[in-house]
Structure 1
Amino acid sequence: MEEERLDFVLVPLGLFLMGIYHLWLFFTIRSHPRKTVIGLNAQSRHQWVSSMMSDPLKNGVLAVQTIRNNIMASTLLATTAITLSSLIGVFVSSFSNSGDKVSASVIVYGNKSPTLSAIKYFSILLCFLVAFLCNVQSIRYYAHVSFLVTVPTWKDRKDSMEYVGRNLNRGSFFWSLGLRAFYFSFPLFLWIFGPIPMFVCSFIMAFVLYFLDTTTTITRKLHSHSFKEDQRNNSVEAAGNLV
């Protein structure tokens, strides 16, 4: 294969591989959520909200502290993303102002396409901007849930608990998307050194994300036992209240 054509073959293949994997992950979350870490954690968060809101006066401090930790994690990722975006913008603008072309060093075979340098840096910048926006939205939902989870008047109201659980899951989903944008920036960053490292990184990243996103049978059984015990405790408490 001609050296200058590697960018037009390996890079689309790497992006296609990552896209196919995330498309499979999306449909798996929708159809079989318990087979994925994202779906299983969403059910656990619903259970946690029900537990915290069953007695908000007693569990209010614990709930707010837990959500605060999530806000701090999202703030750290958002700060990192916007900082890296600013550095890339300053780096590209400095080369543009000096009249030099922004091109990567020729280190790996196939990296002789200086016309694609702008696309490479713009792709990395776009990943970090998406990560920043997703983490900002995550902070927004977490801050909203920190108020809702401690409302005493919502005790024993299932519809209110479901609403708080949905908002908490939305914040967690935005956090996952922001973290996923960081993962996606690794192949794009290696694209600076050529299409071959980018394709290899995309291939390895797909396998790594598969092991991180899927659950084992043992994990699903542990969560199932936890859900059953929680439902049994709720039934006992309801019977006690009736007596």
Structure 2
Amino acid sequence: MWGPWRKEFLDVILVPASLFIMFGYHHFLLYRYLRYPSTTTIGYENHNRRVWVERMMEIEAKDRPALSVIANTMSAASALSSISLVLSSLIGAWLGSSNRTVFTSNLIYGATSPSVISIKYVALLVCFLVAFGSFVQTSRCLVNASFLMTMPNADVPMSHIEKEMITGSIFYEFGMRVLYLATTFLLWVFGPIPMFVSSVTMVGLLLRLDANRTVLYHYPRIGQDVSEVTKAVEHHERRPQGRK
């Protein structure tokens, strides 16, 4: 015989369902990226990064605008890592304080016991700390890539630079995904229903944003493009004149 319904049961049902939706979608995204990378925006962007590294290595080091491009990404990663660290500090201070009853209102339809509230804050804290570490690793990889790309009088293997660039982009993408998960945990503070709704909405948006419908373009080299145009002009000039 089932007991009477209590609002705490919603956390038992909706919180695991929300996590299953989020992790299930990202497992599906990882499968698509590993098996069919051209169908994901991550694979499309990594393809463009590889081509970008190849073209940058074809010009002189003093003429490369690579550092400014890498610096912009590093600035974004540094800003996000700083924000994650500040939020982690705030949550840690909140956990250490004695007054944590601000989110125990009767307006929240769900569990409001002190242990559940502590779990919510710890989950948020872990997400922000993991995001902070991911963005720090992004900066580390991009700094190493800039060193390799601007190394004078050295024949640096292109694969080493590509590896650092792709690894940095993967860390950046992972940090962003952790922040997406932190958003759902943040809404869990206001109850399991907002968390479930945010998970479904976010996965619906990510399904559209993570899908790539653009065909991978194999960018021709500048010299190759000019030579093809020259050959086309010469072929046109050698054609016999038509009758007037």
Question: What is the CA-CA distance between 1:90 and the residue it aligns to?
Answer: 1.0
> Are positions 1:181 and 2:178 aligned together?
yes
Question: What is the CA-CA distance between 1:91 and the residue it aligns to?
Answer: 1.4
Question: What is the CA-CA distance between 1:57 and the residue it aligns to?
Answer: 2.4
Residue by residue, what CA displacement relative to the aligned partner does 1:186-235 show, whole Å, maximum 9, x if unpaired?
1100101111111111111111111221112xx22xx32xx153498389
Question: What is the CA-CA distance between 1:72 and the residue it aligns to?
Answer: 0.5
Question: What is the CA-CA distance between 1:170 and the residue it aligns to?
Answer: 0.3
**Matched-pair contact (CA < 8 Å) for 1:102–1:114:** no
User: How far apart in 1 are the matches of 2:93 and 2:219?
Assistant: 54
* Alignment CA distance shift 1:105-1:153 (3 Å): farther
> Are positions 1:30 and 2:49 aligned together?
no
> Are positions 1:206 and 2:197 aligned together?
no
Question: What is the CA-CA distance between 1:76 and the residue it aligns to?
Answer: 0.3
* Alignment CA distance shift 1:235-1:184 (3 Å): farther
User: How far apart in 1 are the matches of 2:106 and 2:141?
Assistant: 45
What does 1:52-63 align with in structure 2 at a 5 Å threshold?
52-60=56-64, 62-63=65-66
Partner residue, 2:78: 75
User: How far apart in 2 are the matches of 1:166 and 1:235?
Assistant: 30
* Alignment CA distance shift 1:106-1:56 (3 Å): farther
Which of 90, 109, 115 is the equivalent residue of 2:93? 90
**Counterpart AA for 1:191:** W
**Matched-pair contact (CA < 8 Å) for 2:103–2:190:** no
SS at match of 2:220: helix
User: How far apart in 1 are the matches of 2:121 and 2:39?
Assistant: 36
**Matched-pair contact (CA < 8 Å) for 1:104–1:192:** no
Which of 31, 42, 45 is the equivalent residue of 2:46? 42
Q: Please, what is the CA RMSD of the aligned residues?
A: 2.3
Greater shift in the superposed pair: 111-120 or 4-13? 111-120
* Alignment CA distance shift 1:136-1:50 (3 Å): same
> Are positions 1:165 and 2:182 aligned together?
no
User: How far apart in 2 are the matches of 1:151 and 1:87?
Assistant: 41
Structure number with larger C-alpha Rg: 2
SS at match of 1:108: coil
Partner residue, 2:192: 195
- Structure 2 residue ranges without an equivalent (≥5): 229-244
Question: What is the CA-CA distance between 1:92 and the residue it aligns to?
Answer: 1.7
Aligned residues with identical type, % of pairs? 37
* Alignment CA distance shift 1:118-1:77 (3 Å): same
TM-score, normalised relative to structure 1: 0.85
Partner residue, 1:4: 8
TM-score, normalised relative to structure 2: 0.84
**Counterpart AA for 1:36:** T
Question: What is the CA-CA distance between 1:151 and the residue it aligns to?
Answer: 2.8
**Counterpart AA for 1:198:** M
Partner residue, 2:236: none
**Counterpart AA for 2:73:** N
**Matched-pair contact (CA < 8 Å) for 1:107–1:194:** no
